[in-house]
Amino acid sequence: MSPADFKNSEFDIFPAIDLLDGRSVRLLRGQRESAHVVHANPVEQMREYAAAGARWVHIVNLNAAFGDSPEIHSGAAETEKLIGMLVASGGLKIQLGGGIRSAESLGRALSLGVSRVVIGTWAMTDFENVMEFVRREPERFVIGVDSLGGSIAIRGWTQTSPETTLAFAGRLKKAGVRTVLFTEVERDGMLQGAALEATAALAAESGLSVIASGGVGGIDDIRALSECSGVCGVVTGKALAAGRLSLIEALSYQRS
């Protein structure tokens, strides 16, 4: 199958760096107490991704996601400082998510110089205001669509909305959103395989460009996702950290 056969000719691999208290960590199902360090130097980690041939890095500010304020939480201040260092180091475009739930936190994230931001809960709780920002610069925004049992999971996956995943995706498409980051919460960090059917269905039924996230266990997941019409990329972190996936091999499926 050639790139011309795909709805989206572009497919990117987004190696992930999750930051908590200025450290590169991984969590299991989003639980703070499960955090363990996976790389001693996040700046070097990003340089390794760039050297392998990645075009993007997906960074999650876990301190912001957990509601830590940089003004009163030293770990949050360290994480924000580190993100600035990652931006300054250059080489990769940065997609930043985690805790963007207000115009103030959005401004703070964009001021760091990242290429685009991921908005999750805020898009559900304050839809129209978020869409106003999206319409101004749609290329700088990705909306997080976190699914738990077919419904939207919000507030760090601790609650669900009565709205179904597909209904919410339809609203996003009508409002002018171009790209979403789709995660089946149950699979995150479990290495049990990507949500292939659900990801493909979301792309097909919504007409959105979908970045897959969660559950990637190895190269077979990357290959399968790269063949799904409408899927424009995949975020992977745990599989890389666990040695289950070679970034160089994964990047062989990257196309533009």
Positions annotated as catalytic residues are 18, 146
Q: Are 80 and 88 in contact (CB under 8 A)?
A: no
CA dist 106 and 170 (Å) reads: 24
Report the sign of the C-alpha dihedral through residues 71, 118, 54, 213, in that order.
Answer: positive
Q: Please state the length of the chain.
A: 256
Distances 174 to 75, 178, 179, 208, 229 between C-alpha atoms, Å: 39, 10, 12, 10, 20
DSSP secondary structure, 16-33, as one string: EEEEETTEEEEEETTEEE
